[in-house]
Structure 1
Amino acid sequence: MERQQDSVLRQVEEANVDYIRLWFTDVVGTLKSVVISPTDLETAFDEGLGIDGSTIEGLTRTYESDMLLAPDPSTFRILPEYDSTGTTGVMMSDVLTPDGEPAASDPRGVLKRALERAERMGLEFFTHPEIEFYLFEKPWRRGEPLQPIDDGGYFDYVQRPTANNYRRELISQLESMNIHVEYSHHEGGPGQNEVDLRYADALATADNILTMRAMTKKVAHSMGQVATFMPKPIVDQPGSGMHTHLSLFQNGKNVFHEPGAEYGLSKTARHFIAGLLRHAPEYSVITNQFVNSYKRLWGKQEAPSFICWGHNNRSALVRVPYHKPTKGTSSRVEFRGLDSAANPYLAFAVLLGAGIAGIEGEYDLPEGAEDTVWDLTDRERRAMGIEPLPSDLYRALDSFEDSELMAEILGEEVFEFIIRNKHDEWAKYRNQVTDSELASTFNAV
């Protein structure tokens, strides 16, 4: 760690960095930032930077508000052309208590604890996200329709220059920060795009997702556009998911792979998938944390609504992608339930924890579903043992509250905050009177 700190200090000096942004998130996943000068960086490395944690959603309780930010030197990057006031560096930061211990409420710390548990089993957790988002002409304002920047569809080459150049500029900026993009393309909705980040360990991936979100919005703003990761911004168009490929390695070997087995899946992989399926209702409030998230899940258009797995089944919650028999390291599972607005630290922690519960409990994997599950009748689904995901935030929260596994993975503070926060969100949602209600009821009787 000390060598990494020295390396960062040299980079800051050589690049004439004017400001350092220390990034962290609240429990919801909103990016937070504190700016320091390069002259204070060494002290921040040695002692941490004091902040008032009581002002951050879920970070701490008012009576224990003092917290420290500890910048992680391995995450240092220089932001490309951030503004005209000078060169800016950025680092992800861990949140600590005043005595230097990891804060129980820090989402990054939650994932680190989950990864440490896996490491004690000799396992490394790798992830590869496919991040979808929408681009609009201008910010949302009440009463005004959303205006996508184009009317393109899946894989379309959009002729409009601003739309065509957007992903090129975003990818260029991400690559300059050493965040590698595997590929990108136009998605199914008008103005909808997808950027796929290259495989990395789960902590690095979560850090990269937060940086990618910030850069996505920055590039959009620079082009006079607005980007959103809202799960379902347009009623009759696809939602924005974050399909994520998951794999476990041990001593450099992919433990999901077994030559000659069906789909090349080892027993470990099958138990892991079984864990994802069994605990899906419990962690849904983490992977799909907003009222709006369930409008994506239950809006069809390839979003998974039912708890099943399959090989060529894109309506399944978990899919086993095809890979060449000679490439055993490519064995993986694709989790399709996650949306682009999730807090990646918490989402990866609960997915890993559910999968490990399946491994440790040797859960049996049910039969795969190769039909399009949406096209089956309720009776056919019941006969196959296929249960639905929670259909709204309230039902997801109900399953979450009863989950000992989620409380264990997240820790008491984060677990209790999510319960309070989501009950509050649901109450506000229920208390509104919508245009749809007025249209259907105002003159009904």
Structure 2
Amino acid sequence: MSTAPTPPPEPDTTRIAELAEAGARLLVGTFIDNAGITRVKTVPFDRAGTAARSGIGLSPAFAVMCLDDHVTATGKFGGPVGDLRLLPDLSTATVIDAERGIAWAPLDQYDQELARFPLCQRDVLRRQEQQASELELAFLAAFEIEFTLLTSSGAPVHTGPGYGLGPLLDLEAFALDLLEALATAGVGVGTLHPEYGPGQVEISLAPRTPVAAVDQYVLARLVIGRTARRHGLTVSFAPVTLADEIGNGSHVHFSATQAGHNVFTGGEQIHGLTTTGAQLIAGVVDNSCAAAGVLTPTIASYERLQPGHWSGAYACWGLENREAAVRLIRGSAGTRSASANVEVKSIDGASNPYLVLATILGLGLSGVREERTLCQPVEENPDAIPAQTRADRGIHQLPTSLPDALDRLEQSKVLRSILGEDLVDCLVAVRRHEVDTYTETPMHQRIQLVRDRY
């Protein structure tokens, strides 16, 4: 399972010294597995250089680790034999708590020959970023993070009203501490406010290049979790945390430039799209049903991914249409060259964010390579369109169950080409374990399971 030898760069001793001077005593390294769980390895900071040079051990069985820590198997993964090396990317490391001496870095996966491990999710995204540059495209991306804050008894910290002043006043101390902690960690924040559901809060992050955008998202979730604990609260990013409530999304916005021009504005196609911009959207829309197994991948996801939840339950696109899976955002007049972007709404926080963004960009790039024709936009609520009319227009509901989503993912040639055959097999195996184990479990127990894991 090794690639051509690509040794990691020699650790930057100047950067290590800077982090140590900033107070780093413990390095917390994170990677996201195929169940969307954030896993950690930590080392004393005086070993950071050694870890970045030769790695920290990891069993290849983590490729098929499930949300309940069961280890499933594919034809290639799941046994006790073998080893990988986790190397912290110290170029992106940051001190998140100088007083306690805690630093963070994302972890890359290598084999024992120090060649990139093909299933390294962070590197899968990195490869899509490189392929975009070969097409003379440059992407920026940003995440919106919805999460539920709960008291020690499991009750939501606020009961609304949605976006209300009252919940903000109740959460004022938490919000101010969180903003300070995010700024200390170098996380760019656009907005922070109470959301629609009980206990729900949303933060929108600043745009970054693709790998940096996901690194920032992972770091933001870590900081949110630490801040919540200091306030005696627990936090969940799960798609559903409370029965019969709206659920949490993890929307992704992306923009693309070609020769310095934003491809989602100033063109001659509908709503000002350029040809390349239309092709990018077409690639995502046309394959969004197959992508559901990556974007909405857990047993609770389909409680959220429903019409009427503004979760993007239909495989279509529209200008500012919050019920479409793909939403074109033009931005305000006079700023569109900088602000026009596309939002993919049908994503939740149980997914692996590196694979989410790799999937979105990879599908978009496939639309450019294939010169796909973009379907007509949907300018109304797709669920209000008569079923036969939807069918005639090619508007399809996204999968309504995890088994259906996994079948489509497993059969998708384009997603296998983007993510790799072995990685798709691992993703499917991990999530089929959920189906086989928890389908008959009462709903409240399934919600509890995912609420505590994400």
SS at 1:338's partner residue?
coil
1:132 alignment partner in structure 2: 146
Change in 2 beyond 3 A, CA 1:360/1:17? same
Amino acid at match of 1:71: P
Change in 2 beyond 3 A, CA 1:434/1:95? closer
Amino acid at match of 1:77: T
Tell me by how many angstroms 1:4 deviates: 7.3
- In the alignment, the residues of structure 1 paired with residue 167 and residue 419 of structure 2 have an alpha-carbon distance, to the nearest angstrom, of 46
Amino acid at match of 1:225: L
Which of these residues, 219, 231, 241, is aligned with residue 249 of structure 2?
A: 241
Tell me by how many angstroms 1:12 deviates: 2.8
Amino acid at match of 1:73: L
Tell me by how many angstroms 1:173 deviates: 0.6
Q: In the alignment, is the contact (CA less than 8 A) between 1:22 and 1:34 conserved in 2? A: yes
Which of these residues, 40, 61, 82, is aligned with residue 54 of structure 1?
A: 61
Equivalent runs, 1:286-435 vs 2, <5 Å: 286-298=294-306, 300-327=308-335, 328-432=337-441
- In the alignment, the residues of structure 2 paired with residue 171 and residue 219 of structure 1 have an alpha-carbon distance, to the nearest angstrom, of 10
Amino acid at match of 1:331: A
- 1:4-44 CA-to-partner distances (Å, cap 9, x unmatched) read 72332221332232212222222222222222223222222
Q: In the alignment, is the contact (CA less than 8 A) between 1:105 and 1:414 conserved in 2? A: yes
Amino acid at match of 1:117: Q
Matched, 1:284 2:297: no
Amino acid at match of 2:216: N
Larger mean Cα displacement after TM superposition, 169-178 or 284-293: 169-178
1:439 alignment partner in structure 2: none
Q: In the alignment, is the contact (CA less than 8 A) between 1:181 and 1:195 conserved in 2? A: yes
Which of these residues, 12, 22, 42, is aligned with residue 19 of structure 2?
A: 12
SS at 2:251's partner residue?
strand
Change in 2 beyond 3 A, CA 1:5/1:162? farther
1:170 alignment partner in structure 2: 178
- In the alignment, the residues of structure 2 paired with residue 104 and residue 3 of structure 1 have an alpha-carbon distance, to the nearest angstrom, of 21
2:129 alignment partner in structure 1: 115
Matched, 1:80 2:93: no
Tell me by how many angstroms 1:55 deviates: 5.0
1:68 alignment partner in structure 2: 85
1:90 alignment partner in structure 2: 104
Which of these residues, 21, 27, 31, is aligned with residue 34 of structure 2?
A: 27
- Which structure carries more relative contact order (alpha carbon 8 Å, separation 6+)? 2
Identity of counterpart residues, as a percentage?
Answer: 26
SS at 1:308's partner residue?
strand
Q: In the alignment, is the contact (CA less than 8 A) between 1:264 and 1:331 conserved in 2? A: no
- In the alignment, the residues of structure 1 paired with residue 364 and residue 290 of structure 2 have an alpha-carbon distance, to the nearest angstrom, of 13
Q: In the alignment, is the contact (CA less than 8 A) between 2:23 and 2:95 conserved in 1? A: no
- 1:54-111 CA-to-partner distances (Å, cap 9, x unmatched) read 35645954365211122212211112268xxx31111112110011111112111211
- In the alignment, the residues of structure 1 paired with residue 431 and residue 10 of structure 2 have an alpha-carbon distance, to the nearest angstrom, of 42
Larger mean Cα displacement after TM superposition, 427-436 or 343-352: 427-436
Q: TM-score, normalised by structure 1?
A: 0.90
Consecutive unaligned residues of structure 2, counting only runs of 5 or more, are 1-7, 66-70, 72-76, 446-454
Amino acid at match of 1:347: V
Change in 2 beyond 3 A, CA 1:372/1:55? closer
Equivalent runs, 1:103-252 vs 2, <5 Å: 103-138=117-152, 146-158=154-166, 163-252=171-260
- In the alignment, the residues of structure 2 paired with residue 401 and residue 54 of structure 1 have an alpha-carbon distance, to the nearest angstrom, of 20
Change in 2 beyond 3 A, CA 1:369/1:40? same
- 1:104-138 CA-to-partner distances (Å, cap 9, x unmatched) read 12111211122222222222221121111111112
Amino acid at match of 1:280: S
- In the alignment, the residues of structure 1 paired with residue 285 and residue 307 of structure 2 have an alpha-carbon distance, to the nearest angstrom, of 20
Tell me by how many angstroms 1:322 deviates: 2.7
Change in 2 beyond 3 A, CA 1:4/1:183? farther
- In the alignment, the residues of structure 1 paired with residue 412 and residue 168 of structure 2 have an alpha-carbon distance, to the nearest angstrom, of 49
Change in 2 beyond 3 A, CA 1:162/1:359? same
2:5 alignment partner in structure 1: none
Change in 2 beyond 3 A, CA 1:116/1:388? same
Amino acid at match of 1:74: S
Tell me by how many angstroms 1:148 deviates: 0.7
Change in 2 beyond 3 A, CA 1:118/1:239? same
Q: TM-score, normalised by structure 2?
A: 0.88
Aligned-residue RMSD, C-alpha: 2.3
Change in 2 beyond 3 A, CA 1:324/1:127? same
Change in 2 beyond 3 A, CA 1:364/1:251? closer
Q: In the alignment, is the contact (CA less than 8 A) between 2:63 and 2:78 conserved in 1? A: no
2:4 alignment partner in structure 1: none
- 1:319-341 CA-to-partner distances (Å, cap 9, x unmatched) read 11132454313221111111122
Amino acid at match of 2:129: L
Q: In the alignment, is the contact (CA less than 8 A) between 2:269 and 2:275 conserved in 1? A: no
Change in 2 beyond 3 A, CA 1:435/1:368? closer
1:443 alignment partner in structure 2: none
Larger mean Cα displacement after TM superposition, 213-222 or 189-198: 213-222
2:47 alignment partner in structure 1: 40
Tell me by how many angstroms 1:259 deviates: 4.5
Tell me by how many angstroms 1:312 deviates: 3.1
Tell me by how many angstroms 1:263 deviates: 2.1
SS at 1:242's partner residue?
coil
- In the alignment, the residues of structure 2 paired with residue 190 and residue 239 of structure 1 have an alpha-carbon distance, to the nearest angstrom, of 10
Change in 2 beyond 3 A, CA 1:283/1:220? same
- In the alignment, the residues of structure 1 paired with residue 81 and residue 277 of structure 2 have an alpha-carbon distance, to the nearest angstrom, of 42
Larger mean Cα displacement after TM superposition, 241-250 or 128-137: 241-250
Tell me by how many angstroms 1:389 deviates: 0.5
Larger mean Cα displacement after TM superposition, 63-72 or 227-236: 63-72
Larger mean Cα displacement after TM superposition, 9-18 or 50-59: 50-59
- In the alignment, the residues of structure 2 paired with residue 267 and residue 377 of structure 1 have an alpha-carbon distance, to the nearest angstrom, of 30
SS at 1:62's partner residue?
coil
